[in-house]
Structure 1
Amino acid sequence: MSTPVIELGPDALLVEGTPVALPIPIGTLVAVWGEPELWVGTAGSVVTWHELGVFAHRLDEKHVKTLCVQLRPEADAPAFVPRSAFTGRLLVDGEVVTDELPGAGVDARRVAGTATTERHGVRLHASYEGDHLESVEMTVPRTTPAVPVERYAPRRVADPVRFTDLGLKLAVVDELMYQQEVIQPRLDARDFARSYTGRTIDLDAEGHRPVPEILAYLEDLQIDRSEAALVHELVIDAGNDVYREVAPLWDGEDDTFDIGSWADLDLLPHLTSLDFVSLTPDDETLDALRARGLDVDA
């Protein structure tokens, strides 16, 4: 077999026209592609058809849990990666996959060099080298445990402080929730999206801007006066954890999370320093912050 054909459509995953379901019996693949080379590592084993550009991770001795095509050679690749590029055709919904994975936008590729989508009960995970699709892995979709709705129930405390500037409050939340881990639960955008029942939150489509429901959750989040007293330093950085959860795909290049008023610093009695890695205010504001007796690094 020199030109393998793998098709994923609404009715089935087809290998050489034969319907299969993951995990796939290895014997089914051997029948159409011949005997593969077996690679065994500490974390598992892989069967590879080097001349076809196809490999698969074994579930057990008789089944594979993935089916992968190597569309382009990979430099410094592990021994199980095919030495030859895929010689056949991979089709998703009738479309030949070449330089883009149908359904997985360029944002995922830009962020991580990968793209993931699901089609007809199969998870497709693509790896890119620059702008070129390098490999595609097909596997069973990951099952994500349900997040109890009550995990993100409104947080209530005995003596809440009242912030007037949400930007400054987010900086305080970053310190108390992600650095000191005093405030629980630690907000995770994908957990929140799965638990939210008001609508479907699509982080891949909406994540360039603050997700309204996540931002509202943090705006409503109560911080106790005793917790505010634990803040000695604030790091202001576009890469802070809190921003990645409020707007997972935000590029950090605009004023979305700029702090408009610093009056709420009065709520932080033990604050001694501000470190501006980015999102730095103007010189007049920096001077005013130093006039408060704060050690300001900008």
Structure 2
Amino acid sequence: MKKPDILEIDITDKGLKINSELFTFPIDLNKLSLIFGEPDFFKMKYNDIYTWHEIGVLGYSKKKKQIETLEIYLSNQKDLKFSPRKLFNQVLKINGESYQEIKFKKNKKSDFVEKQIGNNSLYMEFNEKDSQYSTISITDFKEPPILQDPDRYDYKPVAGEKMEFADFNFKLAIIQILMYEKELLRPKFDLYEFVERYKDREIDVDEEGYALIPEVTAYFEKLEIDKKFASEITEIYQDGGDDIYLNMLCFWDGEDDVFNINTITDVEQFSNLKTLSLFSDTQFKEREYLKSKGIGVENIYIR
């Protein structure tokens, strides 16, 4: 892609001005490509991403070739497969004034600024280390929808006695059965529902979903399971396509041991458990221990 000789982006009350042309979202990809050059294309699960590497800009699209969001990379380059290889070093203004000269009030809980400029909505990440903005995302301003059941994922202690676990991954295997298969644990956790309702910061699943998201992990760590459900567990079969793993680590490729069960003493509280099928092999003494409990180990998938 040929880098434009001169590029000036001005986020104005009337729209997004790129050089001398005024745009409003969604912006036709072909029109942007006439200014920015041809982008690289990345097909994601929930949207398409177009990256202009030479100018440090990428665009998000849910409708084919209609850009709903532009993200400008200013500093602190991110190492994602779709991240621009270079940073934006052209002219960026807000209502005719350099963005660097404008002082915005940051969110109290996070290093970002959310601001409405005309019909544009800005999300600006601030890098304290460099004392400057790292990215600015620009999209069409929309009134936030009123969420149904906004407290859906608030912490709720069980009425009875809760289960205790020595191995968090064992707990996740139990959640898979009770929440997603038997539907005894409520609510049935959905990552995108959770993110939509999360209040303390904005979680970007497309960027953060390649690793465990701390707030999601914390939710499942805190989640209580009533001991009355212990009798429901007769078999544990770990599978890479299980809902629990896809909601915790949605872009997991199954090539690491992040969900391996390493401690099997949690079987003590499941008297009806007869079969374990695990991601990782168990040592001889553990097999003997399980055998003494009347539990078979089958279909071992060794990583």
TM-score (norm 1): 0.58
Tell me: CA distance 1:249–1:9, structure 2 relative to 1, closer, same or farther (3 Å): farther
- Alignment correspondent of 2:40: 99
Match of 1:294 in 2: 295
8 Å CA contact 1:116–1:124 kept in 2: the answer is yes
The 2-side partners of 1:138 and 1:147 are apart by 28
Q: Note if contact 1:208-1:251 (Cα within 8 Å) is conserved in structure 2.
A: no
SS of 2:262 mapped into structure 1 = coil
Indicate if the aligned counterparts of 2:180 and 2:243 stay in contact, CA closer than 8 A: yes
Report what 2:62 is aligned to: 125
User: What residue number does 1:269 align with?
Assistant: 271
The equivalences for 1:42-121 within 5 A come to 89-91=30-32, 94-100=35-41, 106=42, 109=43, 112=45, 115=48
Contact 2:33 2:39 in 1 (8 A): no
Structural mapping, 1:128-139, within 5 Å: 136-137=65-66
Who is 1:151 aligned against?
152
Would the aligned equivalents of 1:159 and 1:225 in 2 still touch at CA under 8 Å? yes
TM-aligned CA deviation for residue 242 of structure 1: 0.7
Change (3 A) 1:287 1:193: same
What is residue 116 of structure 2 aligned with on the other side?
A: none
SS of residue matched to 2:40: coil
Classify 1:254/1:93 alpha carbon distance in 2 versus 1 (closer, same or farther; 3 Å): farther
Distance (whole Å) between structure 2 residues aligned to residue 96 and residue 193 of structure 1: 34
> Against the structure 1 CA distance between its residues 94 and 145, is the aligned structure 2 distance closer, same or farther, given a 3 Å change threshold?
farther
Q: Which residue of 2 aligns with 1:281?
A: 281
Aligned residues between the structures: 205
Alignment partners' CA distance in 2, 1:270 and 1:179 = 17
Secondary structure in 2 matching 1:274: strand
- Asked if the contact 2:261–2:280 (Cα under 8 Å) also holds between the matched residues in 1, the reply is no
Matched with 1:221 is 223
> What is the identity, as a one-letter code, of the residue corresponding to 2:147?
A
SS in 2 for 1:237: coil
TM-score scaled to structure 2, two decimals? 0.57
Deviation sequence 1:155-190 (CA, Å, 0-9, x none): 211121111211100000011001111000011111
Assess if the C-alpha contact under 8 Å between 1:9 and 1:93 holds in 2.
no
Structure 2, unpaired ranges of 5+: 1-8, 51-58, 69-139
For structure 1, which runs of at least 5 residues remain unmatched after alignment?
A: 1-7, 23-66, 70-88, 101-105, 127-134
Residue 161 of structure 2 contacts residue 227 of structure 2 at CA under 8 Å; is this kept in 1? yes
Shift of 1:224: 0.8
Per-residue CA distance 1:55-79 (angstroms, 9 max, x = gap): xxxxxxxxxxxx987xxxxxxxxxx
Check 1:234–1:125 CA distance in 2 against 1; reply closer, same or farther (3 A cut). same
- Displacement after TM superposition at 1:149 (Å): 4.1
SS at match of 2:297: strand
Q: Do the aligned residues in 1 keep the contact of 2:16 with 2:23 (CA within 8 Å)?
A: yes
> Counterpart of 1:202?
204
